Amino acid sequence: MRILHTSDWHLGIYLHGISLLDEQEAFIETLPVIIKENNIEAVVISGDIFDHAISNPEAINLYNKAMTILCMDEKIPVLICAGNHDGAERLSSCNELLKKSGLYISGRINNEMKPIILGDTAFHLLPFFNAEEVRSIFTKETIRNYPEAMTTVINSIKANIIPNKSNILISHCYVNGAELCDSDRSAMVGGTNAVNADIFEGFDYIALGHLHRAQPCSDKVKVYYSGSPIKYSFSEANHIKSFSIIDTTDMSITTLPINPLHDMRILKGTYEEILGISESNKGNQDYIKIELTDTYIGLETQETFRNFYPNLLCMAGKSLEADNQITTLTIDEIAQLSPKDILLKFYLEICAAEPNEGQLKWFDKAIEAIEAIEAVEAVNAIEAVETIEAGEAGEAIEAIEAAGKGGGLQ
């Protein structure tokens, strides 16, 4: 059996205020071709279909589209375990009914997690859980922490391993030794929910989700993260996104690269260096982060580079607060800088010091004067419009009266 392993779609996610729904739809639309060209017979999704437990309508519609393509159009069974971002109850609602269409979803753990048998393979679905859930189900077990909870659940599942079948575990968790990136938000906190890879011994392949870099986690056990199909933070800029394909005839694993709709890049260097690169890159549609090593960032710098990169999402530059430090701002944050913020950045860059109290007072007075002038100009503009409108109204009345006198009105 040939199985496509993927995870962490995070439908509905935003990157620095930009929706990635178009990116997600683009890779979903490639699935029929991938299935046909690689003779895929089942699709495994190891959690985090959605980015939020309560998803927006656009994300739900895209999920519906993907499942319709896979289960109805391509007649391919899909097996999903809920991740920590998914609303487990919502995701698995009507799961018994959906099985008839070839969509198998596990949202919550229980004490009778039977495998799903498809062809020569037994699929064991293990959704994301916390230790308290395990304590409430396995009441006779002593469970003090998450690793002990995982051991209890895994031992329960191992009791249902099917001899003479390829037994594949589908789960969403963090395994010790795996490489993290900035978008692996939940896994980075604390680390108390990490488990060792050898806990999964006995399964032929462990299809994991949760971390966004595609990677194996053990030399002894086939524990694999498929990684996310899209780059969800600039820490993933150098990742190669892919699907994993498992062939159960020999348990071989191959990766299939995913070509993004828009790639993601970080440009780092001095202002002049980045400007030189950008001039030959005008109109490039990649998602861009610029890191300037020799200057602060502001509206003028932003506008300069937005002329080259329409999808410039954030910039980093010298910090006001400390020497040799870099601060990062999104484009929206740069646009919201106050005049005083811009003055402080400029003064510090040019004079290597902060303006004194007297200078700041003069600046405040200048801003007040400009605002007063703008207010007067606005009032004058309004009065001018009102005068024009009054004149036009008067002319209209005169025209109506003249037409009436001439017999033009009935």
User: Is it the case that residue 188 has pLDDT exceeding 60?
Assistant: no
Check residue 290 and give its pLDDT.
93
User: Is it the case that residue 374 has pLDDT exceeding 90?
Assistant: no
Sorting pLDDT into bands at 50, 70 and 90, what band is 317? confident
> How many CB atoms neighbour CB 189 within 10 A?
9
Q: Please give the CATH architecture assigned to the domain spanning 2-257.
A: 4-Layer Sandwich (3.60)
3-state secondary structure of 153: helix
Q: Does residue 53 come out as left (phi exceeding 0), alpha (psi in the -120 to 50 range) or beta?
A: alpha
274-312 pLDDT per residue, tens = 999 998 888 789 999 999 988 877 778 888 999 999 999
Is-contact 231 262, C-beta < 8 A?
A: no
7-16 pLDDT per residue, tens = 999 999 999 8
Helices (H) and strands (E) in the chain, counts: 13, 20
Check residue 369 and give its pLDDT.
77
Determine the average pLDDT of the residues in 239-265. 95
Q: What percent of the chain has pLDDT over 90?
A: 61
pTM: 0.79
Report d(CA 112, CA 188) in Å as an integer.
31
Q: What percent of the chain has pLDDT over 70?
A: 80
Q: Is the dihedral of CA 56, 59, 62, 66 positive or negative?
A: negative
User: Is it the case that residue 321 has pLDDT exceeding 60?
Assistant: no
Strands (DSSP E) along 242-311, which ranges?
242-247, 252-257, 264-269, 287-292
User: Is it the case that residue 336 has pLDDT exceeding 70?
Assistant: no
Comparison of pLDDT for 320 and 351, the residue scoring more: 351
> What one-character-per-residue DSSP string does 236-253 give?
GTT---EEEEEETTTTEE
Is-contact 69 232, C-beta < 8 A?
A: no
Report d(CA 60, CA 292) in Å as an integer.
39
> What secondary structure letter does DSSP report for 198?
G
Determine the average pLDDT of the residues in 46-73. 95
Determine the average pLDDT of the residues in 183-191. 59
Determine the average pLDDT of the residues in 367-373. 72
Check residue 190 and give its pLDDT.
47
User: Is it the case that residue 105 has pLDDT exceeding 70?
Assistant: yes
**Nearest alpha carbon to residue 92 among 68, 127, 41:** 127
At how many degrees (to 10) do helices 271-279 and 299-306 cross?
20
Judging by DSSP bridges, how do beta strands 223-225 and 215-216 pair with one another?
A: antiparallel
141-170 pLDDT per residue, tens = 899 999 999 999 999 999 999 999 999 999
Please give the mean pLDDT across all residues of the chain: 86
3-state secondary structure of 14: strand
| 88-97, 305-314, 348-357, range with the lowest pLDDT | 348-357
Determine the average pLDDT of the residues in 23-38. 96
Q: Which long-range contacts (CB under 8 A, 24 or more apart) does 22-29 make?
A: 22/261, 23/230, 23/260, 23/261, 23/262, 24/62, 24/229, 24/230, 25/62, 25/65, 26/260, 26/261, 27/229, 27/230, 27/258, 27/260, 27/261, 28/62, 28/65, 28/66, 28/69, 29/69
Determine the average pLDDT of the residues in 368-377. 69
Is-contact 148 194, C-beta < 8 A?
A: no
Where along the chain do its domains lie? 2-257, 264-355
Sorting pLDDT into bands at 50, 70 and 90, what band is 212? very high
Is-contact 20 50, C-beta < 8 A?
A: no
| 111-115, 157-161, 321-325, 400-404, range with the lowest pLDDT | 321-325
**Nearest alpha carbon to residue 62 among 96, 94, 16, 23:** 23
Check residue 410 and give its pLDDT.
42
Report d(CA 354, CA 344) in Å as an integer.
7
3-state secondary structure of 129: coil
Report d(CA 205, CA 124) in Å as an integer.
10
Determine the average pLDDT of the residues in 378-382. 62
Check residue 408 and give its pLDDT.
46
Comparison of pLDDT for 165 and 330, the residue scoring more: 165
- Phi, psi for residue 311 in degrees, rounded to 5: -105, 35
Comparison of pLDDT for 94 and 43, the residue scoring more: 43
**Nearest alpha carbon to residue 250 among 215, 225, 222:** 222
User: Is it the case that residue 322 has pLDDT exceeding 60?
Assistant: no
Distance in Å from the first CA to the final CA of the chain: 87
